[in-house]
Amino acid sequence: MPKLNRSARPARSVTAMVALRARLLHQLARRPTWARVETQLAELLRSRLAAEPPSLRRIDLETPPAILAQIVRYEAVHEIRGLADLRRRLAEDRRCYALFTDALPGQPLAFIEVALTRGVCGDVSSLLDTESSVLPSATCDCAMFYSISSCHQGLRGIPFGNLLIRLVVERLQLEMPWLRTFATVSPVPGFREWITNLAKRQGGSLLEAVNALNDERWPDEAPMSKRLERALLPLCASYLLAAKRGDEPLDPVARFHLGNGAVLDQIHWLGDRTIAGFKRSAGIVANYLYDLPTVDRNRETFAYTHQVIAAPRVAQLAGPIYSSL
């Protein structure tokens, strides 16, 4: 069994602990006796990082290349497809922020990507378009969080998301006080699997709709796309409102944003036309709204009740399907 070395220098010890915990997590299923060490190691890392809270830094084209390379490597939601893509994500109407700690010098812990837009955006494909026009930031009124990624497997389960979002909102409010709305355009990563399993049980027209998703031509065939939208969009609303993992929402992105005090605000058809988007959710995306005056109350409500706090239009979209799940 691996042993913890508590005597190493602080920066090196954290680096070593992160690497060791990544190894433990990778092999835990085959070596369940390592669970106790993994738990101890996780607590040590939480204590170490709590003693020296991470700080926020903006990532831009002046950022050292070694750090930019890590941003490209660890992007977990929307792959960065080369230098042109990276440059577009760091343009005037984009922001990227990362958390850093002196205990892991030169290594971001987690990072978030933000698009400054005019109005709430429900189409992440437009945000990922490297040929899109760059908007003057002074003309934008919304900050859309479209990707958040962790950088170390060895820090899995040690939460940085709430801190990262809070610090980014504070920074944006300070630098651009004209911004009025803070929201996400988020993937729905569990929906395609959930709807496939539901279709296998129910059969009929739902199974036909799910099987139609295997034809790569459907997004560009308007009649077929419209039929699938009518069949699947209400089910996606129901999935986000009612599908559970224990007491909590089944969808991991929903758990994350609702746990941070956001509100499920809207659901959009074909908001993610990437290959990954079709595989995850048939191209559906969700907006989670960070309504700043109610974030703390929402977070506490979710922590105690696990209630999905959503705009009325989401429940209306789900309709009778929601109450039957």
Predicted confidence at residue 158, as pLDDT, reads 87
Predicted confidence at residue 51, as pLDDT, reads 84
DSSP helix/strand/coil, 305: helix
Class for domain 187-250+263-324, per CATH? alpha beta
Predicted confidence at residue 324, as pLDDT, reads 52
**Beta carbons of 185 and 123 less than 8 angstroms apart:** yes
Tokens (6 digits) for 257: 């944003």
Predicted confidence at residue 2, as pLDDT, reads 59
Predicted confidence at residue 52, as pLDDT, reads 83
| Stated pTM of the model | 0.91
CA distances from 15 to 67, 103, 285 (A): 16, 8, 36
Question: CA-to-CA distance for 71 and 63, rounded, in angstroms?
Answer: 11
Beta strands in the chain (DSSP E): 55-59, 94-100, 110-117, 142-150, 181-184, 186-187, 244-245, 248-249, 263-268, 285-289
Q: For each successive 10 residues of the chain (325 residues), what is the average pLDDT? A: 52 82 91 91 90 93 97 96 97 98 94 98 96 97 97 91 93 96 96 96 94 94 96 96 95 96 97 94 97 93 95 91 55
Question: CA-to-CA distance for 31 and 20, rounded, in angstroms?
Answer: 14
Predicted confidence at residue 9, as pLDDT, reads 46
Predicted confidence at residue 128, as pLDDT, reads 96
CATH for 55-184 is 3.40.630.180
Predicted confidence at residue 49, as pLDDT, reads 87
Tokens (6 digits) for 238: 């129901």
**Beta carbons of 1 and 33 less than 8 angstroms apart:** yes
Q: Where are the domains of the chain?
A: 10-51, 55-184, 187-250+263-324
